[in-house]
Structure 1
């Protein structure tokens, strides 16, 4: 059985007990993570395709380690100008091991997410509201008559 799952903005084909490298994930080494954005599953020829995701299916994994990928060299040059710049960087990645692909596990993960989202919502309701902004005082009729006068054009200079 395999599944195509979206992890950190990328799509991966995963199987049970597979080790893959993904963009850096939140969490510590040894933490369990669940990915509920499963796009396709194949169980011995029985293919199920989501539109866009399959509801009730999740991929469970364990974070093995956080590390950096191989260095990528960026070299820029302009001919005959003496311009050469060499830069490089190492992308932060996470190694994870796929524990299983299953139905029903996404419901548990979704329930946890809903519970954590409900707690901050309750805090927002109990928080004190900010005082209302002061309303602008109505303008008096005499204020309209005191508009600043338009600047007069400077007299043109004539050459004599």
Structure 2
């Protein structure tokens, strides 16, 4: 059984027991969070598609830790103009474990 759920503005495919990284959530480590914006549920071939969400469906996750992602370098340059600029960015992420998918 898997589901497509909207978490922090992103659509993710989730299954029970998987660990995924999502944009930073405000919940503390160890807390349980329930997401109700389930867009699709597949239960052994029986697919339910929401309009826009599936009624009665939810996904329960546990917050494991808050981390920072890999560094992304942004390099800008204009040739023959002596212009170069280097910038870096690290995204704040939350690692969550999928506990239960109710469809």
TM-score bracket relative to the smaller structure = over 0.9
CA–CA distance in structure 2, aligned partners of residues 101 and 6 of structure 1: 13
- Structure-1 residue corresponding to 2:26: 26
CA–CA distance in structure 1, aligned partners of residues 85 and 5 of structure 2: 38
The 5 A counterparts of 1:1-150 are 1-103=1-103
Local SS of the residue matching 2:68: strand
The CA deviation at 1:55 is: 1.4
CA–CA distance in structure 2, aligned partners of residues 57 and 44 of structure 1: 16
Structure 2 residue ranges without an equivalent (≥5): none
Report the TM-score, using the length of structure 1 for normalisation.
Answer: 0.64
Which protein is richer in strand relative to its size?
2
Aligned length, in residue pairs = 103
Report the TM-score, using the length of structure 2 for normalisation.
Answer: 0.98
CA–CA distance in structure 2, aligned partners of residues 59 and 43 of structure 1: 14
Which protein is richer in helix relative to its size?
1
CA–CA distance in structure 1, aligned partners of residues 74 and 56 of structure 2: 43
- Structure-2 residue corresponding to 1:137: none
The structure, 1 or 2, with the larger RCO (C-alpha pairs under 8 Å, 6+ apart) is 2
Runs of 4+ displaced beyond 6 Å:
none
The CA deviation at 1:56 is: 1.0
Cα RMSD, aligned residues only: 0.6
CA–CA distance in structure 1, aligned partners of residues 4 and 76 of structure 2: 37
Structure label with greater radius of gyration: 1
